[in-house]
Amino acid sequence: MAQWHLTKPVKSLIRKLGIWSWLLDERCQMKTLHFGIIGCGMMGREFASAAARWFHLPDMSVRPEIVAICRRTISAEKISWFKDNIPTLRQVTSDYRELLDNRDVEAVYIAVPHNLHQEFYCAAIEAGKHLMGEKPFGIDKKANDAIMARIRKHPDCLVRCSSQFMFFPAVQRIGQMIEADAFGTIIEVNVGFLHGSDLNPAKPISWKRMVEYNGEYGCMGDLGPHVCSVPFRAGWIPVNVRAVLSNIMPKRPNLRGEMVPCETWDNATLLCEAKDSNSGDVFPFTLRTHRVSPGQRNNWYIEVLGTKACARFSTKDANTLETLDYNGREQAWQKIEIGHEVTFKSITPGIFQFGVSDAILQMCAAFLYELDKGRPFTKFSGCITPEETTLWHRLLTAALKSHKSGTTVALGRVEY
Ligand SMILES: NC(=O)c1ccc[n+]([C@@H]2O[C@H](COP(=O)([O-])OP(=O)(O)OC[C@H]3O[C@@H](n4cnc5c(N)ncnc54)[C@H](O)[C@@H]3O)[C@@H](O)[C@H]2O)c1
């Protein structure tokens, strides 16, 4: 990772300006990781924006600097947002291989349609770049297996998958409760991610509603990784699954207004038996990934019910954690206003509310922290590992089989 190398006269001039000397001292010790972004759509922009407000995190000793971007088609209009906002940008290309050949690029963030994950992720790892890839980390299990094989060949690359919900302060608290074994025997765990906009039959089809680009998993590939993140990190692993999948809107208009087949699953409801890898306890575990969920916008939720304590959180009420501590007397839920209680210190005061772009910033910090220090800050503040992506591919593949056969499907042993 590169550091700032300023000549002596430049340093002394900056020191003479007085107020900036602290910044100089900080920054001269600050390491810089040169990033390339491949895929400049919604998530590519989120990543670029997070990198741009790095000074929000005063305690970080490493920062990202975006030096290259790749998008499928280059047009002045499409790339102007990146060019106008990223002064460090030196390479703009439509060929991801050119970006990977750029020796200045040390790490890549890749956010492209799922059918490209295997090719792009494998090429990035083969080129020796650290990789923050997007979920589901391969369009299907076969693609994920291929990515995993490439990771094993290149152990020096840090490879992680993006999923930001674990970084909400309330979810971090739930992580701390899991680590402290506060829940007692787990009675049940319920997680879900609910969207409502697909209820509109006039919403045009996009690659996310096409099997060719999004994959057979449909809504499970898009939303499922996010809901698996906390339970899998906790070591709550499904041993079997009964899935019910629905294609509620089998046709959608294309951009010309013609009705075309829309074959991806809209909604998936999974009931599993999960095993706690620490205690061996087995308990019911439900996962709901619904794109047609009336009244919902972008509702990621988790509910953990245990014999000693319970907790629940939803991004609908993103600054509130609900807990129930059972001490043999009253069983009462309490609401705790969490605010901006972040893992990677932020300049935002603790009383301010927290949102998705803050979670993305925290997640990026987790990636750079782990790269710099060689380990995550805490168990629940590390990005999703490749092994965790394999766990969800195993689950989602079994869910497809379960729906098709109308039976409960065993998941078998976990093998990495
Ligand atoms: N973490 C999250 O909350 C979250 C949210 C949405 C999407 N995602 C994931 O991010 C990824 C991208 O989703 P998105 O919503 O940003 O999609 P998007 O459609 O907004 O962006 C995808 C981008 O990939 C580009 N692209 C396509 N083919 C390319 C090629 N050959 N070379 C270079 N660029 C190419 C497209 O031009 C587009 O700009 C997916 O894996 C998706 O599952 C994650």
Would you write out the chain's pLDDT as a tens digit for each of its 416 residues? Answer: 544 455 545 554 554 444 444 454 445 578 999 999 999 999 999 999 999 999 999 999 999 999 999 999 888 877 899 999 999 999 999 999 999 999 999 999 999 999 999 999 999 999 999 999 999 999 999 999 999 999 999 999 999 999 999 999 999 999 999 999 999 999 999 999 999 999 999 999 999 999 999 999 999 999 999 999 999 999 999 999 999 999 999 999 999 999 999 999 999 999 999 999 989 999 999 999 999 999 999 999 999 999 999 999 999 999 999 999 999 999 999 999 999 999 999 999 999 999 999 999 999 999 999 999 999 999 999 999 999 999 999 999 999 999 999 999 999 766 54
Tell me the C-alpha to C-alpha distance, in Å, between residue 41 and each of 38, 71, 111, 113, 192.
9, 8, 8, 10, 25
Cα(37) to centroid(ligand 1), Å: 11
Secondary structure class of 208 (helix, strand, coil):
helix
Of ligand 1's atoms, which has the minimum distance to the CA of residue 163? 1
Same domain, 151 and 232: no
Same domain, 120 and 170: no
Length of the chain: 416
Same domain, 219 and 95: no
Cα(382) to centroid(ligand 1), Å: 22
Q: Residue 296 is part of a domain; what is its CATH number?
A: 3.30.360.10
Same domain, 271 and 321: yes
Secondary structure class of 343 (helix, strand, coil):
coil
What's the DSSP call for residue 223? H
| Cis geometry, peptide bond prior to residue 155 (ω within 30 degrees of 0) | no
Residue 73's pLDDT is 87
* 362 falls within a domain: no
- Phi, psi for 202 (deg, rounded to 5): -90, -5
Cα–Cα dist 367/365, whole Å: 5
Of 100, 133, 161, which one is at a domain's C-terminal end?
161
Q: Residue 157 is part of a domain; what is its CATH number?
A: 3.40.50.720
User: Which residue range is the domain that position 151 belongs to?
Assistant: 2-161
Cβ 96 under 6 angstroms from ligand 1 = yes
Same domain, 118 and 225: no
Of 99, 130, 161, which one is at a domain's C-terminal end?
161
Residue 19's pLDDT is 46
Sign of CA dihedral 140, 143, 145, 150: negative
* 42 falls within a domain: yes
**Closest residue CA from atom 37 of ligand 1:** 72
Burial letters for 293-321: b for 16+ Cβ neighbours within 10 Å, e otherwise? beebeebbbbbbbbeebbbbbbbeebbeb
End-to-end CA separation in angstroms for the chain = 30
Residue 318's pLDDT is 96
Cβ 241 under 6 angstroms from ligand 1 = no
Q: Are 51 and 36 in contact (CB under 8 A)?
A: no
Same domain, 177 and 207: yes
Cβ 112 under 6 angstroms from ligand 1 = yes
The count of structural domains within the chain is 2
Same domain, 109 and 254: no
Same domain, 146 and 229: no
Same domain, 65 and 208: no
